[in-house]
Amino acid sequence: MQVEVVKSKIHRVTVTGADLHYIGSITIDEVLMEASNIIEGEKVSIVNINNGERFETYAIPGPRNSGEICLNGPAARKVHKGDIIIIITYGIMDFEEAKSFKPSIVFPNEETNTLT
């Protein structure tokens, strides 16, 4: 049997921008992507703390150490600059493997979106 479990999480980051006319996705500071083990193009779930919205898109890297968290395309309608979000990815694995799997979870500084 296989189960779907949390693979990565960036817990509580501040949205720095929302670009409705960009093709789509979420731009994430490359340092945060590396620390949380999220790769370019990976499907991510977004949870907006401010308004309760939950939606999916895919990740693209932003400039290193920029703190950038920008929702692009239609996802831009689900957030406002300054909202606090959680970014989550999931992986599918065998049940026994999942019991001992440890996800990559990071807790950035909410004001700067950087790791301290």
Q: Out of 22, 45, 58, 90, which one is annotated catalytic?
A: 58
Is 63 annotated in some ligand binding site? no
Is 74 annotated in some ligand binding site? yes
Is 58 part of the annotated catalytic residue set?
A: yes
Is 90 part of the annotated catalytic residue set?
A: no
Q: Out of 8, 25, 36, 66, which one is annotated catalytic?
A: 25
Is 108 annotated in some ligand binding site? no
DSSP result, the chain:
-EEEEEEEEEEEEE--EEETTSSSEEEEEHHHHHHHT--TT-EEEEEETTT--EEEEEEEEE-TTS--EEEEGGGGGG--TT-EEEEEEEEEEEHHHHHH---EEE---TTT----
Indicate which residues carry an active-site annotation: 25, 58
List residues forming the annotated binding site for substrate: 57, 73-75
Binding annotation? 57, 73-75
